[in-house]
């Protein structure tokens, strides 16, 4: 028997669209299901100023296929030279919805990120005053810290001190991967949110490393042990307003993933909604999928929920999607959950 689930149209509160041919290849994969997305600014060179964000927004909209509706929610890449007045103006104009903090060297295209937090104090204070959220890639870059501990250590060494030093600063802990991240998100008030990706609800570190190395499961923060995956599932399906979807769908061409020094990122834009329905059904929480994917993120960003709807259907036939997309720009391998999924998005 066919089961149907109708949601407010979802938002992806953490998305990498890239630029040029890759942008053209991946944008329809998101716009097919999502009404809006928080667009990550880690281009080369990064999107630092309001003018750069406006130009990037125009390039995104110029790539949008006829008949598709999609609103890119723009962000600025925080550098030690970021001008508080430019940030405030980009926010006041309605263009920019968040500022992104990458610790320098933490992840893909983060070389222009922050090393000395004293240098961004004035920007953070301005953001606290105007209510503009700071989205944080929460990993320390200290080579002495084990990669599996970098999120937990970041919370203690950086995130908590920054939040204490900047009262009122609204923060989104991006792509949390640990129980420590879940617990810290819960320790905050309504000024603290956390995004959770699709893939971190599905894979643990064994998927990457056991039985041969699987580069398409490698992303940052790297997936952790099973107990952490279970903590993320509990948080995502809790219905709590602080937890919301940010897929972190991050396309890299296959030749750079299947490489001696492979890039970090999983590409989930194509199949996220069927995968989430599968996960939420396993957790007996289908009734909370709308909160996670469509309501909580919008509320955090003080946006109205989308007017449109997305209908998911469960049938006896497994869902199908392409193994790869963007043949010219990539190809880019679509995340493979490793199990059949019977939920489909109804067009």
- Say whether residue 306 binds ligand NCD (CB under 6 A): no
Q: Pick from 5, 220, 231, 277: which binds ligand NCD (CB under 6 A)?
A: 220
- Mapped onto helix, strand or coil, the DSSP state of residue 123 is helix
Binding characters for ligand NCD, 104-133, by CB under 6 A (x = yes) = ---xx-------------------------
Per the annotation, the verdict on 248 as an active-site residue is yes
Only one residue has tokens 């107990």, namely 227
Q: Pick from 27, 250, 289, 334: which binds ligand NCD (CB under 6 A)?
A: 250
Distance CA 7, CA 289 (A): 8
What is the footprint of ligand NCD within residues 51-70 (CB under 6 A)? none
User: Among ligand NCD, Zn ion, none, what does residue 74 contact (CB within 5–8 Å per kind)?
Assistant: none
Q: Among residues 199 and 344, whose Cβ is nearest to ligand NCD?
A: 199
Distance CA 194, CA 177 (A): 10
Distance CA 275, CA 287 (A): 15
* Nearest partner of 170 among 195, 137, 196, 134, judged by Cα: 134
Count of H-run helices and E-run strands, the chain: 13, 13
Binding characters for ligand NCD, 4-33, by CB under 6 A (x = yes) = ------------x-----------------
Query: What's the token pair of residue 119?
Result: 């240098």
Q: How many CB atoms lie within 10 A of CB 146?
A: 10
- Say whether residue 109 binds Zn ion (CB under 5 A): no
Only one residue has tokens 């995340």, namely 335
What is the footprint of Zn ion within residues 259-288 (CB under 5 A)? none
Helix (H), strand (E) at residue 71: strand 71-77
Binding characters for ligand NCD, 34-53, by CB under 6 A (x = yes) = --------x-----------
User: Among Zn ion, ligand NCD, none, what does residue 78 contact (CB within 5–8 Å per kind)?
Assistant: none
Residues listed for the chain: 347
Q: Pick from 8, 36, 100, 137: which binds ligand NCD (CB under 6 A)?
A: 137
Q: Pick from 11, 86, 248, 281: which binds Zn ion (CB under 5 A)?
A: 248
Task: Write down the catalytic residue from 11, 248, 254, 323.
Answer: 248
**Beta strands 243-245; 192-196: pairing state:** parallel
Q: Among residues 8 and 207, whose Cβ is nearest to ligand NCD?
A: 207
Distance CA 287, CA 294 (A): 12
- Say whether residue 249 binds Zn ion (CB under 5 A): no
User: How many residues interact with Zn ion (rule CB under 5 A)?
Assistant: 3
* Nearest partner of 59 among 78, 82, 41, judged by Cα: 41
- Say whether residue 257 binds ligand NCD (CB under 6 A): no
Q: Among residues 8 and 103, whose Cβ is nearest to Zn ion?
A: 103
Question: C-alpha angle 146/13/42, rounded to 5°?
Answer: 60
Distance CA 43, CA 39 (A): 11
| Residues of the shown chain interacting with ligand NCD in the complex, contacts defined by CB under 6 A | 16, 42, 107-108, 137, 219-220, 248, 250, 264-265
| Residues of the shown chain interacting with Zn ion in the complex, contacts defined by CB under 5 A | 107, 137, 248
Catalytic residues: 248
């Amino acid at each position: 028997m066919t089961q149907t689930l109708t949601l407010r149209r979802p938002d992806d509160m953490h998305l990498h669209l890239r630029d040029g041919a890759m942008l053209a290849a991946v944008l329809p994969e998101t716009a097919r299901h999502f009404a809006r997305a928080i667009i990550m600014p880690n281009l080369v060179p990064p999107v630092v100023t309001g003018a750069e964000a406006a130009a990037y927004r125009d390039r995104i909209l110029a790539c949008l296929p006829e008949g598709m509706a999609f609103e890119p929610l723009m962000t600025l890449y925080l550098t030690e030279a970021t001008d508080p007045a430019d940030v405030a103006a980009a926010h006041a104009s309605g263009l920019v919805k968040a500022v992104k903090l990458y610790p320098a060297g933490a992840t893909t295209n983060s070389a222009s990120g922050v090393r000395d937090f004293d240098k961004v104090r004035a920007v953070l204070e301005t953001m606290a005053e105007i209510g503009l959220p700071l989205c944080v890639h929460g990993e320390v870059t200290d080579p002495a810290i084990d990669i599996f501990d970098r999120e937990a250590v970041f919370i203690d060494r950086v995130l908590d001190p920054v939040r204490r030093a900047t009262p009122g600063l609204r923060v989104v802990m991006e792509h949390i991967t640990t129980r420590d991240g879940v617990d810290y998100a819960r320790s905050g008030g309504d000024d603290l949110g956390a995004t959770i990706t699709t893939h971190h609800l599905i894979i643990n570190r064994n998927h990457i490393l056991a039985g041969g190395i699987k580069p398409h499961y490698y992303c940052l923060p790297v997936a952790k042990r099973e107990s952490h995956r279970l903590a993320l599932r509990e948080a995502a399906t809790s219905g709590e307003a602080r937890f919301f979807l940010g897929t972190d769908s991050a396309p890299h061409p296959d030749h750079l993933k299947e490489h001696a020094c492979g890039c970090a990122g999983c590409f989930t834009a194509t199949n996220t909604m069927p995968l989430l329905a599968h996960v939420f059904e396993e957790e007996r929480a289908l009734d909370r999928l709308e909160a996670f994917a469509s309501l909580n993120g919008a509320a955090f960003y003080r946006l109205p929920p989308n007017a449109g709807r997305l209908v998911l259907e469960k049938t006896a036939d497994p869902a199908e999607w392409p193994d790869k997309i963007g043949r010219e720009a990539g190809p880019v391998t679509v995340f493979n959950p490793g199990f059949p999924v019977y939920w489909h998005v109804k067009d």
